[in-house]
């Protein structure tokens, strides 16, 4: 469930991008969960047309997923609309997605830009847009060139085919293990939220999602290699080509494509982890750390990065000072960097991103506690986190070797700020008095921190909008205002890293 | 969940200290030297003084709070104080300060030395934390770790003893200090792998090295991150970002 300020932030983003009406519909879905068209109309007191159009905009921009579900005990079904909070938030980081592609596949940037701006498009629409956007004076790209650049995006999984528009999802049947659930082994199956279950139902298989637009023109001899719809052997070649041509026409004119946010978030996660650890590396190990990430092969999950030693060696060799390093040296440094190879795959080195992400999350919260309440609060908070159970006041004093009065004052500050909880334990006989207190970190401190993150982002956006309005009104201090707005925009961009760290990574 | 530690009832533990005594208090008697109550002294005391002396003596090195003595002997405040004063003037009992409850009057038989629980231990002086001593010990520990790169508590202790034989720290005290430094993220706790930088340390041994400072997020740089009134803040509220004094100060602007 999204926290209160998370919903307000999402509404603010949608309101800025699509106006108040669409944001009302989005807010209604975020607050109440999946609703039918009639329910939305009733709750918002808007006309059917207004709600329908708003839903269409939200679906077009991947912020809402429709699905049908059984109504009553009969065979009747009803269409419900589910707001996808994550995708709304991703709208904050489109510039980051674009810059990733700019570095990786610069020739395809304009295509991704089209998809980000328009949500979902057919290839045909993308071609039209790309040709019209071609800079004056330079020759317009051909359809073949655009197809090639587009397929590069699909091949790299930056772009995917849109999920099913209205899958059938029965929450009751979902309780039972179904054939789709069998894919994940039971031991690692995690509890999915309703939103995740619906999105999983709507998702296409990986083969379908990333099936490139088939080539059927001359010079595309490797067509079958890319074609997932390749027919079984034994058919005549011209039949293959006919199927290809038909598939290609469908893929170009009918199939809707969209940005694959998962891939971008994984790339940003990798980048974040690489950067965070980089500042803490010893002299001479930077080269290997960089080479490890550059040599990364496609991963099956978003939790780890795996690179084969051959590719790491190749990359290290290309770097300054890398040629003089021996294999043993590199392996020793990789082990120090917690890049582990297993006995099953001694050639592959894997780094656990999630472990680093978790450490970074703790660092951010603890660091804020320090900034807000001082060094003593930091020490006590870390002690309580480490203990993970209630700790008595005197024990806190003993373990932190801090002055008792300071400990009392600090515990009160942390308690008031809702980081920790206290419990009064009665004590009948003895010299210590009639009661004493035990303290522990609140179970909800992470959720509170995330809500605080959303609230901060919301306030930053509010300030940016305020300044933008002032700039529009016109003022003599325009340069000053513009500089301040830039500071806020920059802060918002950096703050988004924390949002991703806690929500998306 | 029960707390890890509760104040132990005084009468159940007549030994001078329930915890292991700190080595910097050599006067702490060993088991063989546990003081026993002198019958000749008891014989000389009037009835009420005798009863109070027995109760205080039994409390041992932890002493006893005046209110608990009165409760036990069912005495009024004035009588209780008067008897206690008499015992103090006879030099049979002394008043000690309890580091945990500075305002409480705690009495202890003169035969005992206050336990670490009462005095606070090495890092306390006259019932107050000796911040300078703690800071000095931390500096010494950090210097040793910086010198060695990676070190166990024993290695840190040995290094300090070698550099300053008069420092007088026990290994336990060094461990306590090092643990607080880990909490402060000055040091980090790692397990030796027995290879590379750990080659001089047996594999699996807990050791320490200098930690990197925690990297905070943008929240620390934005007024809202450390705002004490954030819970009352909303766009249309009395406290709102558009009228926020912290933002005003941050952006150096007039609204």
pLDDT digits (tens, 9 = 90+) for B10-40: 333 333 333 334 434 444 444 446 778 888 8
Q: How many CB atoms lie within 10 A of CB B241?
A: 24
pLDDT for B58 beyond 70: yes
Mutate to test the interface with B, among A366, A367, A401, A446 (most CBs of B within 10 A): A401
Put residue B12 in one of left, alpha, beta given phi > 0 → left and psi -120 to 50 → alpha: alpha
pLDDT for position A159: 93
More confident residue, A446 or B114: A446
Q: Do domains A4-91 and A374-443 have the same CATH topology?
A: yes
Q: A452 and B230 in contact by Cβ < 8 A?
A: yes
Asked whether A257 and A122 are in contact (CB, 8 A), the reply is yes
Tell me if residue A44 falls in helix, strand or coil: helix
pLDDT given for residue B196 in this prediction: 73
CA distance A382 to A361: 13
Over residues B140-154, the mean pLDDT reads 90
**Which residue in the set B59, B106, B224 is minimally distant from A459, CB to CB?**
B224
Which pTM value belongs to this model? 0.79
Q: What share of chain B has pLDDT > 70, as a percent?
A: 84
Does residue A27 contact residue A4 with C-beta atoms inside 8 Å?
A: no
- Tell me the residue ranges of DSSP E strands in B159-225: 187-191, 206-210
Residues 6+ apart with CB under 8 A from A163: A65, A199, A202, A203, A204
User: Are B251 and A484 within 8 A, CB to CB?
Assistant: yes
Contact of B115 with B62, CB cutoff 8 Å: yes
Between B230 and B120, residue with greater pLDDT: B230
For residue B156, give both structure tokens: 């840190």
Closest CA to B57 of B76, B70, B42, B74: B42
Q: How far is residue A121's CA from residue B149's CA, in Å, rounded to a whole number?
A: 58
B253 to chain A, any CB pair closer than 8 A? The answer is yes
The reported pLDDT for the residue numbered A199 is 86
CA B47/CA B38 separation, integer angstroms: 15
Q: Nearest Cβ partner of B233 from A382, A438, A459?
A: A459
Residue A94 in contact with partner chain B when CB distance is under 8 A: no
Q: What is the pLDDT of residue A225?
A: 43
Region label for A239, one of left (φ > 0), alpha (ψ between -120 and 50) or beta (otherwise):
alpha
| CA-to-CA dists, residue B98 to A407, B27, B119, angstroms | 16, 19, 6
Residue A137: per-residue pLDDT: 76
Q: pLDDT per residue over B236-247, tens digit each? A: 888 998 888 898
Q: What pLDDT is recorded for position A295?
A: 85
pLDDT (mean) for B113-133: 77
What pLDDT shows up at residue A176? 60
Report chain A (505 residues): mean pLDDT per 10 consecutive residues. 90 93 94 92 91 94 91 82 93 93 90 93 89 80 87 91 87 62 52 82 84 63 42 45 63 84 92 86 83 79 84 84 79 84 82 90 92 93 91 89 89 92 76 74 91 94 89 81 89 92 91
Residue A35 β-bridge partners: A81
Domains of chain B in sequence order: 10-123 (1.10.10.10), 130-210 (1.10.10.10), 218-251 (no CATH)
- Mean pLDDT check: name the lowest of A276-290, B1-15, B47-61, B188-202: B1-15
* For chain A, domain boundaries: 4-91, 97-259, 263-355, 374-443, 447-504
Chain A residues with CB-CB distance to B106 below 8 A: 431
Instruction: Check if CATH label 2.60.40.10 holds for domain A374-443.
Output: no
- The pLDDT of residue A299 is 67
Q: For domain A4-91, which architecture applies?
A: Orthogonal Bundle (1.10)
Instruction: Please report how many Cα atoms fall inside a 13 Å half-sphere around the Cα of residue A209, on the Cβ side.
Output: 18
Q: What is the pLDDT of residue A244?
A: 62
Smallest Cβ–Cβ distance between A401 and the set B180, B196, B212 belongs to B180
Measured in angstroms, the CA of B8 and the nearest CA of chain A are apart by: 7
């Amino acid at each position: 469930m999204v926290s209160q300020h998370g919903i307000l932030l999402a509404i603010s983003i949608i309101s800025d991008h699509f106006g108040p009406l669409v944001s009302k519909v989005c807010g209604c879905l975020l607050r109440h969960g999946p609703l039918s068209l009639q329910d939305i109309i009733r709750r918002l007191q808007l006309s059917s047309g207004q709600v329908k159009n708003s839903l269409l905009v939200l679906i077009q921009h991947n912020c809402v997923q429709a699905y049908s579900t059984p109504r009553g005990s009969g065979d009747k079904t009803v269409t419900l609309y589910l707001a996808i909070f994550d995708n709304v938030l991703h709208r904050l980081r489109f510039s980051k997605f674009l810059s990733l592609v700019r570095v990786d596949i610069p020739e395809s940037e304009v295509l991704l830009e089209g998809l980000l701006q328009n949500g979902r498009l057919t290839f045909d629409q993308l071609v039209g847009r790309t040709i019209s956007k071609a800079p004056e004076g330079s020759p317009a790209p051909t359809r073949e060139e655009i197809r090639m650049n587009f397929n590069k995006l699909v091949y790299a999984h930056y772009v995917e085919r849109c999920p099913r528009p209205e899958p059938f999802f029965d929450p009751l049947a979902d309780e039972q293990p179904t054939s789709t659930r069998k894919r994940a082994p039971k031991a690692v199956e995690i509890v999915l939220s309703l939103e995740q279950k619906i999105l999983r139902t709507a998702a296409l298989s990986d083969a379908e999602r990333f099936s490139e637009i088939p080539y059927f023109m001359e010079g595309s001899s490797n067509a079958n290699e890319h074609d997932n719809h390749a027919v079984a052997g034994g058919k005549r070649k011209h039949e293959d080509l006919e199927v290809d041509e038909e598939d290609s026409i469908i893929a170009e004119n009918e199939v809707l494509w969209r940005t694959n946010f998962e891939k971008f978030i994984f790339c940003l996660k990798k980048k974040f982890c690489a950067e965070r650890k980089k500042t803490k590396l010893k002299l001479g190990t930077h080269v290997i750390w960089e080479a490890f990430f550059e040599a990364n092969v496609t991963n099956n999950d978003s939790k780890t990065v795996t690179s084969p030693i051959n590719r790491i060696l190749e990359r290290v060799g290309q770097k300054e000072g890398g040629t003089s390093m021996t294999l043993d040296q590199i392996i020793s440094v990789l082990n120090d960097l917690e890049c582990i190879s297993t006995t099953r795959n001694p050639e592959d080195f894997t780094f656990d991103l999630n472990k680093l992400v978790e450490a970074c999350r703790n660092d951010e919260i603890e660091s804020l506690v320090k900034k807000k309440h001082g060094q003593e609060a930091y020490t006590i908070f870390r002690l309580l986190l480490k203990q993970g159970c209630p700790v008595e006041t005197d024990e806190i004093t003993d373990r932190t070797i801090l002055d008792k009065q300071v400990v009392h004052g600090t515990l009160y500050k942390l308690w008031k700020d809702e980081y920790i909880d206290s419990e009064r334990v009665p004590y009948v006989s003895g010299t210590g008095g009639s009661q004493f207190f035990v303290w522990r970190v609140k179970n909800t401190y992470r959720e509170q921190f995330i809500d605080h993150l959303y609230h901060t982002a919301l306030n930053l956006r509010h300030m940016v909008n305020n300044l933008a309005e002032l700039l529009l009104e016109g003022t003599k201090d325009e340069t000053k205002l513009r500089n301040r707005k830039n500071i806020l925009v920059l802060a918002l961009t950096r703050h988004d890293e924390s949002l991703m760290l806690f929500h998306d990574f | 969940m029960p707390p890890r530690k509760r104040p132990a009832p005084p009468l159940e533990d007549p030994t001078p200290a329930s915890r292991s005594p700190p080595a910097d208090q050599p006067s702490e008697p060993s088991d063989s030297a546990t003081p026993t109550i002198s019958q000749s002294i008891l014989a000389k005391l009037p009835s009420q003084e005798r009863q109070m002396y027995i109760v205080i003596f039994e409390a041992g090195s932890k002493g006893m709070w005046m209110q608990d003595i009165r409760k036990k002997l069912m005495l009024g405040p004035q009588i209780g104080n008067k008897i206690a004063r008499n015992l103090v003037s006879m030099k049979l009992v002394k008043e000690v300060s309890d580091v945990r409850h500075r305002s409480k009057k705690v009495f202890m038989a003169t035969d005992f030395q206050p336990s670490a629980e009462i005095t606070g231990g090495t890092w306390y002086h006259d019932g107050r934390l000796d911040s300078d001593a703690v800071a000095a010990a931390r500096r010494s520990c950090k210097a040793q770790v910086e010198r060695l790169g990676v070190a166990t508590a024993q290695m840190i202790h040995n290094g300090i003893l070698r550099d300053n034989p008069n420092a007088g720290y026990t290994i336990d005290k060094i461990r306590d200090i090092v643990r607080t430094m880990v909490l402060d993220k000055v040091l980090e706790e790692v397990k030796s792998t027995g290879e590379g930088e750990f080659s001089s340390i047996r594999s699996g041994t807990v050791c320490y090295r200098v930690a990197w400072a925690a990297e905070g997020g943008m929240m620390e740089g934005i007024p809202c991150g450390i705002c004490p009134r954030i819970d009352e803040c909303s766009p249309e509220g009395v406290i709102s970002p558009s009228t926020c004094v912290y933002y005003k100060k941050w952006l150096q602007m007039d609204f």
